[in-house]
Amino acid sequence: MTIQRIGIVSTGDMGHQVGRTLREAGFRVVTSLDGRSERSRRLAKQAGIEDSGELAALIRQVDLLLSIMPPAAAAGFASDVATLMNATGVHPLFVDCNAIAPATSREIANVITATGAEYLDAGIIGMPPARKNPPRVYISGDRPERLQILERPDMIVRTLAGGIGAASAIKMCYAALNKGGMTLEALVLIGAAQLGLSAELHRELVDAQPHLLASMERRVPWLAADAGRWSGEMLEIARTFADVGLTPRMHEGAANVFDLLANCSLASETRETADRSRSLAAAIEIFAASLSGHGRDAAG
């Protein structure tokens, strides 16, 4: 198939930057902003992404539709798309790029392919294009090499054998370590604050693990801005591991930590509005204060 027109839903942190780099590569990039937030609208405009209006109009216009959104929304969106594909008789190639379990991807594939459309599984690892390091977009399914044409200097495309679910699986394994590790760091720091030992733990980290402390200082103070969507990702990781006989409990606990952060006063921040001068100690104080309203069991 020839891919010239690409639809992206939605135009959040990752989606609008993927759209920007594809538009700069010469593709026509379109989204549907019906019901989307003002922030999504602003980011789409900044990236030069066209607005089709209704989702049905978007489906009629594109050869390829990329789903890039919080994992909790992925299945519902795919169901909406399938309904509209049946209604319009138009069947663009559908690629789920979300942080979902392999089993979830296969379930979505069944919904999409039942309409007569083709489906590919994808997992995006790394920061959005145009940041420090290019993200890696893993693709699996039937003839995943079709999407090699999307590769850009700031976005690497890697194909995987193993069929539907393989790309989601590599995303799950990486995020289990990376984002799961962030929740462990936050849990320990909040726990030390609750125990009145923050200064002592800080001194021990300075002495024994200064590189780990530096990493915490770079990323933990701003976790609340992403916590709401990352909680669902942890539950998808838990499902992934449970499906291969491993405990889901570690990442169910990670989801609880993100739930705690999503209910603190910093959760209303975005990556654009976050106070980058905030210290790790100040962030932990705010995170710990949210325990009274969230319940102590939510942190672990």
**DSSP assignment of 88-149, as one string?**
H----EEEE-SS--HHHHHHHHHHHHTTT--EEEEEEESSPTTSSS--EEEEEESSGGGGGG
- Is the separation of the CB atoms in 86 and 57 below 8 Å? no
Residue 281 placed within a domain = yes
In a domain, 247, yes or no: yes
Same domain, residue pair 9 and 67: yes
**Pair (61, 185) in one structural domain:** no
Domain that holds residue 292: 175-299
User: 122 and 222 in one domain?
Assistant: no
Q: Do 14 and 131 belong to one domain?
A: yes
One domain, residues 69 and 202: no
Cβ count within 10 A of residue 238: 24
Residues 128 and 185 in one domain: no
CA–CA distance, 24 with 22 (Å, rounded to integer): 5
> What CATH number did the domain enclosing 22 receive?
3.40.50.720
**Counted domains in the chain:** 2
The residue type found at 4 is Q
Same domain, 289 and 183: yes
- Please check whether residue 146 lies inside any domain of the structure: yes
Rg of the chain in Å (alpha carbons): 20
Residue 137 sits in the same domain as residue 25: yes
Instruction: Tell which of 164, 199, 218 closes a domain.
Output: 164
Is residue 212 assigned to a domain? yes
Which of residues 112, 136, 164 is at a domain's end? 164
Q: Is the pTM of this model over 0.85?
A: yes
How high does pLDDT run on average in the chain?
95
The CATH number of whichever domain residue 210 belongs to comes to 1.10.1040
Same domain, 34 and 117: yes
pLDDT, one tens digit per residue, over 118-165 is 999 999 999 999 877 999 999 999 999 999 999 999 999 999 999 999
What six digits make up the tokens of 215?
């990493």
Each residue's pLDDT, cut to its tens digit, for the chain (300 residues) gives 689 999 999 999 999 999 999 999 999 999 999 988 999 999 999 999 999 999 999 999 999 999 999 999 999 999 999 999 999 999 999 999 999 999 999 999 999 999 999 999 999 999 999 877 999 999 999 999 999 999 999 999 999 999 999 999 999 999 999 999 999 999 999 999 999 999 999 999 999 999 999 999 999 999 999 999 999 999 999 999 999 999 999 999 999 999 999 999 999 988 788 888 999 999 999 999 988 755 444 444
Quick check: is 169 in a domain?
no
- 170 lies in a domain? no
| Residues written for the chain | 300
The residue among 132, 164, 196 that closes a domain is: 164
Question: Which of helix, strand or coil describes residue 50?
Answer: strand
Other CB atoms within a 10 A radius of the CB of residue 213 amount to 18
User: Are 111 and 225 members of one domain?
Assistant: no
Compute, in degrees rounded to 10, the torsion defined by CA atoms 22, 24, 27, 32. 60
